[in-house]
């Protein structure tokens, strides 16, 4: 029994080997070179800091989606959750600065509760996560339209908007550092710590073989539920940043769930679970944003974003299937 508790397989799977992130790093490097050729000042500190700040929400969503996908599940509700959070924040704050921090705490709690419900329905009621989170997606969209009568009401305070818009000015050698970038740095640190903890190793084991993990004494339902809660919290933080940067809109989170899944797959995380790294998922999100920026600079229609995301998912799944067959 003691030998089983050591769980050597999860330890091996979780370790971030250079080879696991090198492909996405190489792709990112090529895209950055192409983007720099088109836009020579892209790598200048002000431009780069601004780009990283704007990319922070999708990177956070990809990190949250990583925990769910590596456990063998999906979360399709994060896009609608982002929209709901922004609309709710606008109505509750109603341009009153003193309400900002209580509403921020409420948004984080709301994100965690939505994740908890997704996790419990999936694990305890044994509803496939694809159906669970699709249902939550529709519930949130319908509820927010009903609550707001089809149009956003109220307004976000300047205190709230500073999370997404403001920056530390005149930092030596870097210029402006967006608040969002500091949020990203903290999130990266926390995500890496989580993946290297017992919880992270357990989650990978659950995604790789839930039956074996359960026989080894792992509470599979609890690990997966926590993964959904982390995804909900990531969506809440992303909503705060998006609301601060872009303002209130019913399109605030449109399509973000597919962007996050694409980023995770692009970062080398197996859709079936049990393999991948959170660093790879985050780099996948950054690569995706760089690709979209490159498309924009070369005049490619933004309508092709969904096409590109779909092609990336199909290609990544095909490559993963070929590798699995060869093993």
Mean pLDDT throughout 190-210?
A: 91
Provide the residue count of the chain: 327
Mean pLDDT throughout 302-315?
A: 85
Q: What is the pLDDT of residue 10?
A: 40
pLDDT-derived band at 6 (thresholds 50, 70, 90) equals very low
Q: Do the domain assignments include residue 27?
A: no
Distance CA 44, CA 54 (A): 16
| DSSP string covering 2-35 | HHHHH-HHHHHHHS--HHHHHHHHHHHHHHHHHH
Under 8 Å between Cβ of 227 and 120? no
pLDDT in tens, 222-257: 999 999 999 999 999 999 999 988 888 888 888 899
Q: Do the domain assignments include residue 126?
A: yes
Higher-pLDDT residue of 316 and 105 is 105
Q: What is the pLDDT of residue 7?
A: 45
Q: Give the mean pLDDT of the chain.
A: 87
**What's the whole-model pTM score?**
0.90
Bridge partners (DSSP) listed for residue 177 = 168
Q: Choose from 118-127, 199-208, 267-276 the range with maximum mean pLDDT.
A: 118-127
* % of the chain exceeding 70 in pLDDT: 90
Residue 84 has pLDDT above 50, yes or no: yes
Instruction: Look at 9-23, 157-171, 232-246, 264-278 and tell me which has the smallest mean pLDDT.
Output: 9-23
Residue 37 has pLDDT above 80, yes or no: yes
**DSSP-derived 3-state class of residue 148:** helix
Mean pLDDT throughout 165-174?
A: 68
H or E segment at 171?
A: strand 167-171
Q: Do the domain assignments include residue 161?
A: yes
pLDDT-derived band at 17 (thresholds 50, 70, 90) equals very low
pLDDT-derived band at 2 (thresholds 50, 70, 90) equals very low
Mean pLDDT throughout 46-64?
A: 92
**DSSP-derived 3-state class of residue 175:** strand
Tokens of 305: 């974003």
Domain that holds residue 105: 42-253
Alpha-carbon distances of 252 from 15, 134, 184, 286, rounded to whole Å: 35, 18, 19, 19
Q: What is the pLDDT of residue 15?
A: 43
Q: Do the domain assignments include residue 32?
A: no
Q: What is the pLDDT of residue 16?
A: 39
Q: What is the pLDDT of residue 274?
A: 81
Instruction: Look at 34-43, 164-173, 268-277 and tell me which has the smallest mean pLDDT.
Output: 164-173
Q: What is the pLDDT of residue 171?
A: 64
Instruction: Look at 45-59, 101-115, 122-136, 153-167 and tell me which has the smallest mean pLDDT.
Output: 153-167
Residue 89 has pLDDT above 70, yes or no: yes
Q: Do the domain assignments include residue 108?
A: yes
Q: Do the domain assignments include residue 67?
A: yes
CA angle 276, 280, 284 (to 5 degrees): 125
List b or e across 254-288, with b for residues whose CB sees 16 or more CB atoms inside 10 angstroms. Answer: eebbbbbbbbbbbbbbbbebbbbbbbbbbbbbbbb
Mean pLDDT throughout 82-107?
A: 93
Q: What is the pLDDT of residue 13?
A: 38
Q: Do the domain assignments include residue 270?
A: no
pLDDT in tens, 67-80: 999 999 999 999 99
pLDDT in tens, 96-149: 999 999 999 999 999 999 999 999 999 999 999 999 999 999 999 999 988 887
Total domains in the fold of the chain: 1
Helices 220-246 and 198-208 meet at what angle, rounded to 10? 110
Q: What is the pLDDT of residue 281?
A: 95
Q: What is the pLDDT of residue 306?
A: 86
Q: Do the domain assignments include residue 124?
A: yes
């Amino acid at each position: 029994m003691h030998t089983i508790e050591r769980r050597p397989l999860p330890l091996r799977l979780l370790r971030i080997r250079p080879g696991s992130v090198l492909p996405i790093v190489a792709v990112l490097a090529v895209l950055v070179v192409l983007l720099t050729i088109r836009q020579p000042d892209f790598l200048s500190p002000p431009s780069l800091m601004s780009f990283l700040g704007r990319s922070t929400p999708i990177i956070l969503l990809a990190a949250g989606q990583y925990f769910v996908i590596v456990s063998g599940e999906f979360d399709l509700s994060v896009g609608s959750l982002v929209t709901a959070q922004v609309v709710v924040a606008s109505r509750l704050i109603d341009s009153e600065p003193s309400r900002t921090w209580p509403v921020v705490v409420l948004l984080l709690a709301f994100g965690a509760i939505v994740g908890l419900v997704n996790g419990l329905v999936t694990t305890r009621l044994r509803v496939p996560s694809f159906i669970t989170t699709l249902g939550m997606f529709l519930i949130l969209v319908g509820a927010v339209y009903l609550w707001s009568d089809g149009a956003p009401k109220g307004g976000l305070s300047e205190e709230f908007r500073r999370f997404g818009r403001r920056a530390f000015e005149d930092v030596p050698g870097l210029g402006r550092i967006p608040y969002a970038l500091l949020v990203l740095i903290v999130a990266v640190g926390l995500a890496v710590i989580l993946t290297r903890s017992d919880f992270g190793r357990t989650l990978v084991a659950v995604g790789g073989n839930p039956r074996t993990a359960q026989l080894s004494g792992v509470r599979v339902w609890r690990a997966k539920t926590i993964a959904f809660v982390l995804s909900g919290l990531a969506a809440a933080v992303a909503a705060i940043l998006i609301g601060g940067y872009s303002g209130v809109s019913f399109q605030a989170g449109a399509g973000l769930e597919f962007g996050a899944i694409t980023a995770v797959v692009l970062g080398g995380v197996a859709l079936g679970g049990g393999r991948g790294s959170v660093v790879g998922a985050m780099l996948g999100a950054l690569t995706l944003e760089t690709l979209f920026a490159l498309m924009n600079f070369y005049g490619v229609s933004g309508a092709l974003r969904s096409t590109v995301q779909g092609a990336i998912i199909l290609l990544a799944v095909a490559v993963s299937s070929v590798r699995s067959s060869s093993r």
